[in-house]
A and B are shown apart, each in its own frame.
Chain A
């Protein structure tokens, strides 16, 4: 297993790699703020129910209130993370999840330990110590995560790229050359294809000169991989060239 900035790369014994995107300390802080409000709201509701006990015994009602606050403030995180497989209300909203740092199944002891160590992570105020540790840690771990062997990751967006928005309705003349298209799909790296797709998605956000320069550079890089005939590319703009390439690469995918 190795880690790189903002991501956790796990290599299985079979030699397969998969990547988890680590959650930023800011996203985690927002999640914990939501959870704090959730605990407060839950306590307000439960306090009303407990206050009914006061009709029987005021002493008993106060005792229940003290115990309830303690149990809810600690148990909220442990219980929800166990039931929702590493998520609390705040983490669900922020699309975050606690996972084992080695990609293994989380054990109850890990949930318990990482949440008990919140006592130290929240020192001196507002998770300052935990936040600082997460900032300097290569795997964005607060002290509780370090002790429990856990990390918090962002859940991947499983939305497919909307190709129709970027490809337009112009006929892709590269389709007349299936052998070259196959060669392009084989030679182009996932990073390059992803870059081209992102460039098309975000083209309207760019300054005209920067946009023209970027697509020119992309065309130069793609031309090095596969050279389509001049009669096909002669009257074609750089942007259309990249649009055709992206259509060629992605259109077969289901």
Chain B
């Protein structure tokens, strides 16, 4: 068959223009919806344009037309097969995140158990290392304010009656938020090292906290320690563990085959959960940053330890309850 290219382009051009206009409309407005007739027309035009491309592919036609049709089919293919993006108002999106986040965490509860185990192993290692070799303190706790005698620090903290954070609370809070969120993102992203980097980071953080707990406990300052760590730690530590969960989910998707799924399919299946987890973790760390700066840094006699421990305990129970029960009713309703 000899193709009269000129006639072919002339007769088909109107369909291409119509299809291009529809694709451009869909691309420019994520909320745009087609009614049933428009959707049928869109599908018809897509098939015609795709057929035209196939036909032209067999002939030595001018390259511009072929490139144009390829680009049109590629754009149409994306619109035809891609999922529509729902844009929700900020309030609704936040409420949606609040219930979807714990559901995503529960879907991968085995990974969370593994994360807690690695973290606990690190904690035991850190505590044991400090108890057996106190000279390892500078390696286990590379922070200047933790290197001294815990009792001296407690005495110093309790002797300062004024607002020692005055004029710096907001800055300190924002530094904590950004630093902790960076650590959380890094912990999740290191999942790309097949989860090895994430595991090392979790173990190291566990060792550091274990060493701090042992140091203050041996010095008889466990009440001060609980009052200091619990208010913000009851949110911050679970947030880092959840970021670690994200990292191990990523690592296991890279390593292990599941239901004969390809690597691409496995990664696609966890993508939404990873984004939900890291978004939820970021919100948790913003809250933890505020608490650490505006609440945790005040000690007796300014703020009684009993109040701080009660607040921290209530918050920990709240976090636990949130991840256990939030979003369950919606899940049951959809079944």
For residues 7 through 43 of chain A, which have their beta carbon under 8 Å from a beta carbon of chain B?
A: 10, 12, 14-20
Are A160's CB and B62's CB within 8 A? yes
A58-B167 in contact (CB<8A):
yes
Identify A105's interface contact among B5, B53, B81, B171, CB under 8 A: B81
Contacts of B83 in A (CB 8 A): 105, 107
Asked if B50 is at the interface (CB within 8 A of a chain A CB), the reply is yes
Q: Provide the residues of chain A in CB contact with B70, threshold 8 Å.
A: 18-19, 156
Which residues from B are CB-within-8-Å of A173? none
- The segment out of A188-196, A203-211, A227-235, A236-244 that lies at the interface is A188-196
Q: Is the CB of A149 within 8 A of B59?
A: no
Say yes or no for B272: interface residue by CB 8 A criterion.
yes
Asked whether any CB of chain A lies closer than 8 Å to the CB of B283, the reply is no
Q: Does A18 lie within 8 Å of B82, measured CB to CB?
A: no
A109 at the interface (CB under 8 A from B): yes
Q: Is the CB of B64 within 8 A of A149?
A: no
Query: At the interface, yes or no: B61 with Cβ under 8 Å from chain A?
Result: yes
A112 cross-chain contacts in B, Cβ below 8 A: 275, 278-279
Contact (Cβ within 8 A) A158 B64? yes
Provided the pairs A16-B73, A67-B174, A67-B178 are in contact, do residues A109 and B267 lie with their beta carbons within 8 angstroms? no
Asked whether A120 is an interface residue with its Cβ less than 8 Å from the other chain, the reply is yes
Residues 144-180 of A contacting B (Cβ, < 8 Å): 146-149, 156-161
Question: Could you tell me if A12 and B185 are in contact, using CB atoms closer than 8 angstroms?
Answer: no
Residues 95 to 145 of chain B near chain A (Cβ within 8 Å): none
Is B91 at the interface (CB under 8 A from chain A)?
no
Least CB separation from B67: chain A residue:
A156
- Inter-chain CA distance A30–B333, complex, in Å, is 51
Q: Which residues of A are found within 8 Å of B175, using beta-carbon distances? A: 66
Q: How would residues 178 to 205 of chain B score, 1 for a CB under 8 Å from any chain A CB and 0 otherwise?
A: 1001100110111011000100000000
Summed over the interface, the residue pairs from A and B with CB atoms below 8 Å come to a total of 176
Q: What does the 1/0 interface line of B263-300 toward A look like (CB < 8 Å)?
A: 01001100110110011000000000000000000000
- Contact B53–A16 (Cβ < 8 Å): yes
B9 interface neighbour in A107, A148, A190, A254, Cβ under 8 Å: A254
Within 8 A of A (CB), among B62-83: 62-68, 70-71, 73-74, 77-79, 81-83
A245 to B, closest residue via Cβ: B60
Chain B interface residue count, CB cutoff 8 Å, equals 67
**A128 interface contact, C-beta 8 A:** no
* A15-B50 Cα distance, complex, nearest whole Å: 9
Asked if B50 contacts A16 (CB within 8 A), the reply is yes
Which chain B residues lie closer than 8 Å to A57 at the CB level? 170
The answer for the CA separation of A109 and B272 in the assembled complex, in Å, is 6
Taking a contact as CB atoms closer than 8 A, the residue among A12, A161, A185 that contacts B77 in the complex is: A12
CB atoms of B275 and A113 under 8 A apart: yes
Is B173 an interface residue when CB atoms closer than 8 A count as contact?
Answer: yes
Which residues on B sit within 8 Å (CB–CB) of A20? 74
A148 to B190, CA, bound (A): 14
Chain B residue nearest to A118 (CB atoms) is B189
Q: A62-B171, A148-B271, A254-B9 are in contact. Are A105 and B64 (CB under 8 A)?
A: no
Interface assignment of B92: CB less than 8 Å from any CB of chain A = no
State whether B57 touches A60 (Cβ < 8 A).
Answer: no
User: CA A182 – CA B5 in complex, angstroms?
Assistant: 10
- Evaluate contact between A17 and B57: CB separation under 8 angstroms: yes
Q: Closest Cβ of chain A: how far from B30's Cβ, in Å? A: 9
A12 to chain B, nearest CB (A): 5
| Residue from B6, B67, B74, B264 with most neighbouring chain A CB atoms (10 Å) | B74
> Are A63 and B189 in contact, CB atoms less than 8 angstroms apart?
no
**Contact: B192 with A254, CB < 8 Å?**
no
Name the CB-closest residue of A to B76.
Answer: A12
Q: Chain A 91-133 against B: per-residue CB contact (8 Å), 1 yes, 0 no?
A: 0000000011111111111101100110110000000000000
The docked-state distance in angstroms from the alpha carbon of A57 to that of B171 is 11
Write the nearest CB–CB distance from A72 to chain B, whole angstroms: 11
- Asked whether B65 lies within 8 Å of A253 as measured between CB atoms, the reply is yes
B5 interface neighbour in A66, A100, A252, Cβ under 8 Å:
A252
A-B contacts, 22 of them at CB < 8 A, read: A16-B51, A18-B73, A58-B167, A59-B167, A59-B170, A66-B171, A66-B175, A99-B78, A103-B74, A103-B77, A103-B78, A104-B81, A105-B79, A105-B82, A117-B189, A119-B185, A120-B189, A120-B197, A253-B9, A253-B61, A253-B65, A254-B65
Closest 8 CB pairs of A and B: A105-B82, A253-B62, A193-B60, A63-B170, A63-B174, A70-B178, A252-B6, A16-B50
Footprint of B on A, CB under 8 Å? Answer: 10, 12, 14-20, 57-60, 62-64, 66-67, 69-70, 85, 99-110, 112-113, 116-117, 119-120, 143, 146-149, 156-161, 182-183, 185-186, 188-190, 192-194, 197, 249-250, 252-254
Binding site for A on B (CB under 8 A): 1-6, 9-10, 13, 27, 47, 50-51, 53-54, 57, 59-68, 70-71, 73-74, 77-79, 81-83, 85, 167-171, 173-175, 177-178, 181-182, 185-186, 188-190, 192-193, 197, 250, 264, 267-268, 271-272, 274-275, 278-279
Not counting A105-B81, A112-B279, a sample of 8 additional A-B residue pairs whose C-beta atoms are within 8 angstroms of each other reads A18-B73, A62-B174, A102-B264, A103-B78, A109-B274, A116-B278, A149-B267, A182-B2
